[in-house]
């Protein structure tokens, strides 16, 4: 794709959706964009943008496509086992209230998975609040409604958990009200919006894979600041934080980083911070 064409698409997208493609890896995005235009049958980008500008449903579909919201409950079961048997009990041992953030939560599967685990491992003296955010409004509406989720979405959910937390109907699954009440779903752009509050656990998985390395590093730095000392950042199976130790993290286990009490004094963020 020519630079001129890509710059035009980036400008239009930023105005229409608030998504800044400069923060996403160009080759992957360009491939996806080309495939989408071809599939939707428009002769060129100006015609495509004129149409979606006048059609909120088409605009929202395009945004969904770009932000790629594939997810499932307990995606990566061994990691969720580790979360249940080690990370959450450790956190609950020394804290009576936990604040948890599922960042890039898609349709809520990740946040609901955490809520199910917490219901199991927390005791009567514990309290927890779960914030779940995503850039994609329609994914959030889905999450707030608690479904419907497909049989594929719930394939890693045990029979007991399905029985306790889902209503099943025609091979579709809906989260029960009692679990929905545990989570606040809010729109938030990880590349642009400020982060408020301090968290004991931040889960950000399979979100940054398409971000530019600088944007990724900047975000990890902001996650560090948003964690309480001893707090945990849970990342995706293929994700590694470069220079994590310099940033002030220690590895708790594969995919789990713990915020140390104090950051190494020689650490400098890769570029000036926006927030």
- Determine the size of the site formed for ligand SAM (CB under 6 A): 20
Q: In the set 75, 79, 99, 180, which binds ligand SAM (CB under 6 A)?
A: 75
Q: Report the DSSP beta bridge partners of residue 211.
A: 24
CB of 233 to ligand SAM, least distance (A): 13
Q: Report the DSSP beta bridge partners of residue 233.
A: 202, 257
Instruction: Determine, following the binding rule CB under 6 A, whether residue 217 of this chain makes contact with ligand SAM.
Output: no
Report which of 256, 208, 223 is spatially closest to residue 68, judged by C-alpha positions. Answer: 208
**80: how many CB neighbours lie within 10 A of its CB?**
20
| Stretch 172-191: interaction string toward ligand SAM, x if CB under 6 A | -----------------xxx
Instruction: Determine, following the binding rule CB under 6 A, whether residue 194 of this chain makes contact with ligand SAM.
Output: no
Phi, psi for residue 126 in degrees, rounded to 5:
-95, 150
DSSP 132: E
CB of 181 to ligand SAM, least distance (A): 21
Instruction: Name the region of 196 (left: φ>0; alpha: ψ -120 to 50; beta: rest).
Output: beta
Residues 222-251 that bind ligand SAM (CB under 6 A): none
Grouping H, G, I as helix, E, B as strand and the rest as coil, residue 69 is coil
Q: In the set 33, 48, 62, 67, which binds ligand SAM (CB under 6 A)?
A: 67
Task: Tell me the window of 39-47, 50-58, 100-108, 151-159 that interacts with ligand SAM (CB under 6 A).
Answer: 100-108
Instruction: Determine, following the binding rule CB under 6 A, whether residue 255 of this chain makes contact with ligand SAM.
Output: no
Instruction: Evaluate whether 172 touches 150 at the Cβ level (below 8 Å).
Output: yes
Residue closer to ligand SAM, measured from CB, 75 or 259: 75
Q: How far apart are CA 124 and CA 5, in angstroms?
A: 58
Task: Tell me the window of 40-48, 51-59, 201-209, 251-259 that interacts with ligand SAM (CB under 6 A).
Answer: 201-209
**96: how many CB neighbours lie within 10 A of its CB?**
11
| Stretch 5-44: interaction string toward ligand SAM, x if CB under 6 A | ----------------------------------------
CB of 183 to ligand SAM, least distance (A): 14
Residue closer to ligand SAM, measured from CB, 200 or 218: 218
Contacts of 52 (CB under 8 A, 6+ apart): 16, 58, 59, 62
**110: how many CB neighbours lie within 10 A of its CB?**
29
Binding footprint of ligand SAM on the chain (CB under 6 A)? 67-71, 75, 104-106, 110, 134-136, 139, 189-191, 205-207
């Amino acid at each position: 794709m020519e630079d001129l064409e890509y710059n035009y698409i980036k400008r239009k997208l930023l105005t229409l959706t608030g998504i800044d493609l400069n923060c996403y890896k160009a080759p992957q995005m360009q491939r996806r964009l080309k495939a989408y235009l071809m599939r939707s049958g428009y002769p060129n980008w100006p015609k495509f943008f004129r149409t979606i500008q006048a059609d909120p449903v088409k605009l929202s579909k395009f945004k969904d496509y770009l932000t790629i919201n594939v997810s499932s409950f307990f995606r990566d079961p061994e990691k969720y086992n580790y979360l249940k048997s080690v990370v959450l009990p450790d956190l609950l041992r020394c804290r009576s209230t936990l604040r948890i953030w599922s960042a890039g939560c898609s349709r809520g599967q990740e946040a609901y998975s955490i809520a199910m685990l917490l219901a199991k491992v927390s005791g009567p003296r514990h309290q927890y609040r779960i914030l779940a955010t995503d850039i994609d409004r329609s994914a959030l509406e889905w999450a707030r409604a608690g479904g419907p989720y497909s049989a594929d979405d719930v394939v890693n959910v045990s029979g007991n958990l399905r029985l306790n937390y889902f209503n099943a109907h025609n091979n579709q699954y809906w989260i029960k009200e009692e679990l929905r009440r545990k989570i606040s779903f809010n729109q938030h752009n990880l590349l642009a919006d400020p982060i408020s509050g301090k968290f004991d656990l931040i889960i950000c998985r399979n979100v940054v894979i398409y971000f530019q390395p600088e944007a990724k590093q900047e975000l990890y730095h902001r996650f560090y600041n948003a964690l309480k000392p001893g707090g945990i950042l849970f990342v995706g199976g293929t994700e590694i934080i470069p220079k994590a130790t310099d940033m002030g993290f220690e590895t708790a286990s594969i995919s789990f980083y713990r915020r140390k009490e104090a950051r190494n004094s020689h650490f400098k963020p890769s570029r000036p911070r926006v927030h």
